[in-house]
Structure 1
C-alpha cells in the first residue's frame, strides 16, 4: 500500500532523491566507494559542498549580494545560542518575537548572552496566532523571529520593517514560498523538513554582520571560522549535505521556489477547505495565520477519534497525530508531499462524515 507521509520531520523527501541517495550509499559517482566512506576532503565531496552552498544562495536569490551559505551541525537548536554569541554585542541586547516552542527555546538561549527583549508573544493563547503591531527597539543588535511554527500550525505572512538586522528561523518553511530573502540578514533552517535528512543545518548569513561583538567566540561556534573553512572547519555530515544537494537540484528542476509555492498553495487550500466545510472538524490556529506547511486541526467531538483513526490508517496515511501541545491532528505538507496525498486525507475526513 502506498504511504502518505505527513510526518513533521524527519519527513517526506522526493522519491528520486531517495533513489539517488541510496545509489550513492552503494557507489558514489561510480567511484566504487560509498558516500559514507569517502574523504570529505576528496575532490568529489568538495564539489558537492560547493554546489550545495551555491545552489542554496541561487534558489534564495542571494547570489552576489554579500551572503554566505553554510552547512553546519547541531541542528537549529545550536543556532539558538550561536546567533547571540556571534551577533549580540557585549553589554548589548536583542529583540525576539515569541510565536511557539522553538521561538521560546531561542529566547532562553539568548538570555545567557545579554538582555533579551520579547517584543510580543502569543503564549497566553497557546500560540494560536502570530502577534502583530509590536514595536522593535532600534538599539537592539538584531531582531529574531520564526517564520513557521511546526507544532502550532501558524506562519508569518509578513515581516516587520526595522532598521536593525533581521534573523529568521525558517526550519519548517524554507524554500516553500517566495519572499524577498534579501530583507533577512541571517536565515537558518534544520534540513529535516524541506531540504534533506536530519544531521545538517543551513545557515545563510550576510557576511558584513559578523565580527562586531567584541566577544571571544570559540572557533567551533564562530561563523567567521566556518566561512573561512567553507563549511569544513570540522568533518561535515557528508550524507546529509549530499542529500540536501539532491533535494535542491530537484527543486531547481521543478522551477524553483515560485513553482513549488503554487503547489503548496493548492495543497493547503484543499485541506483547509475541508477542515472548514466538514462539521466534524475545526482548525486549531487562527485562520489568518494558518501555516501552508503544517495544518493543525481537531475533532469537534473526540468520541469520533477511534473511527477516524481507523479510516486514515486504512488509507495509508501516516504521521498526522498532533503534537501533545495542541492535540488533534497535524498534517505536514512539505514540498515533496504530492497533491494526491492531500486528497487521500480529505477523502478520509469525508468518509468519517458519511459514517457518522
Structure 2
C-alpha cells in the first residue's frame, strides 16, 4: 500500500511505531496469554500498565505530586458538566473565554449549573483570534476561569498561558484536547486540565483530567457519583471499569514521546511542521488562512481556496495523492489540515508540495 497521510482532526493519526507494537502485542501481552482488551482492570497485568502510563505522563509533563491524574470516559464534552459540578464550590458564577465552537459548547453546558460570565470573546471576528488578557473582564465572584487552549475547528490557539493572581484562589481551567503534549506545559499554572484523547494522546474513548488536590471533594449537591472527581481520585480511576485498551495505547504514545526526546523536542518539530504550511499559505492568494497570525494553531490549519468551486477537485486530487481527511468542518467549510504530534514532517511537506502544484494548475 502506498503511504497515506491522514490529516483528520480526530480520531486522528497515531504513531506508526505505536500501532506496530500494539499489533505485535494484540494476542499476547508480554507473555500473559491475553490481549490487553481481555484483561481484568484490577488484575496485576493491567494494573502495571495503568501505573506505568500515569508515571510516564507525570515524567513527560512534570506533574507535581499535589495533582491527581484521572483516566475517565465521556470525552472532553463530559467535562463541560463535570467542571462546574465540581469547581463551583458554593459559588454561583464562572468566567469563560469564548474563542470558538468548543468554548461555546462549554459555556452552554456550564449555564445549566451557574451564571456564566463571558469575560472575553472573539465572536466579533468569527472566532479568528484569541482575545488578549488585557481585554478580559473577569468577575471577582467567579469560582473559576475556563478557556480552550486550541480550537480544533477554527484553528485558533493560545500560545500563552493566562496570568491569574495566585492570591485570588480562582483556579484556571483549560480544555487542552487538541494541543496537549504538543509543547512543554507548566501544570502549576492551572487548577484543572482536561483533554479528550483522540487527537494528540491516543484513541477515542479516553479522557484525561489533571486536577489539583485542593479542588477535590466539594461537588454540587446531587452530582452523580461518576461525575465526582474525588471518587475517581480515591479509586485511582478504577471506581468503575476504565477504558483499558485506550489507556494502553495512550501509554504507548507516552513511550513514543519519550523516545522522541520529550515535549521540548516535539515542540520544535511542531513549529517546523506548522511553518511549512503557513509559509505556503502566506506566499499566494490562491489560498487563505482566516486566523490572525499571532494565534494560528500549530495543530489545526484551516484554509480556503480563492475559488470555492475547486474544493471538490482539490479533495479528489489530494486523496489520489495519499492526502486524506482534509475537508474542513461542516460548520465552516473549506479545508483543514490537522498536524498533531504523530503527523510526520514529510507528510506536511508532501501536502505543501501538492497544494503548490494544485495552485499552479488552477491559477
Q: Output the TM-score relative to the length of structure 2.
A: 0.94
Residue matched to 1:196: 202
Compute the RMSD of aligned alpha carbons.
1.4
Counterpart check, 1:18 vs 2:24: no
Helix, strand or coil at the partner of 2:302? strand
- In the TM superposition, what is the alpha-carbon distance from 1:13 to its structure 2 partner? 0.7
2:184 matched to 1:152?
A: no
Structure 2 equivalent of residue 107 of structure 1:
107
The superposition leaves residues 55-94 of structure 1 with CA deviations (integer Å, 9 ceiling, x where unpaired) of 2222121133x10101000000111101100011335211
* Structure 1 residue 307 displacement after superposition: 3.7
2:164 counterpart of 1:162: yes
Gaps of 5+ in 2: none
User: Residue 143 of structure 1 corresponds to which residue in structure 2?
Assistant: 145
Check conservation: 1:87, 1:209, Cα contact below 8 A.
Answer: yes
Deviation at 1:217, TM superposition (A): 2.9
Whether the aligned pair in 2 keeps the contact of 1:89 and 1:215 (CA below 8 Å) is: no
Question: How many pairs does the alignment contain?
Answer: 355
Residue 271 of structure 2 is aligned to residue 265 of structure 1: yes
* Structure-2 residue corresponding to 1:40: 41
- Aligned residues of 1:308 and 1:348 also touching (Cα < 8 A): no
Contact kept, 8 Å, 2:28 with 2:34, in 1: the verdict is yes
* Distance in structure 1 (CA, Å) of the matches to 2:143 and 2:33: 50
Contact 1:36–1:239 (Cα < 8 Å) also in 2: yes
Question: C-alpha distance in 1, partners of 2:306/2:149?
Answer: 28
Does structure 1 residue 220 correspond to structure 2 residue 226? yes
Q: Residue in 2 aligned with 1:71?
A: 71
Which residue number in structure 1 is paired with residue 236 of structure 2? 230
Pair 214,326 (structure 1): closer, same or farther in 2 beyond 3 Å:
closer
1:52-63 alignment, distance < 5 Å: 52-63=53-64
| Aligned equivalents of 2:334, 2:96: Cα separation in 1 | 29
Per-residue displacement from partner, 1:199-249 (whole Å, max 9, x unpaired)? Answer: 010000001112245634322111111011000010011100000000011
Asked whether the 8 Å contact 1:90–1:114 carries over to 2, the reply is no
**Other-structure match for 1:7:** 8
Displacement after TM superposition at 1:41 (Å): 0.7
TM-score, normalised by the number of residues in structure 1: 0.96
TM-aligned CA deviation for residue 179 of structure 1: 3.1
CA drift at 1:178: 2.1
Q: Select which of 292, 300, 303 maps to 1:297.
A: 303
**Structure 1: stretches of 5+ with no match in the other structure:** none
Residues of 1 paired with 2:274 and 2:285: CA distance?
18
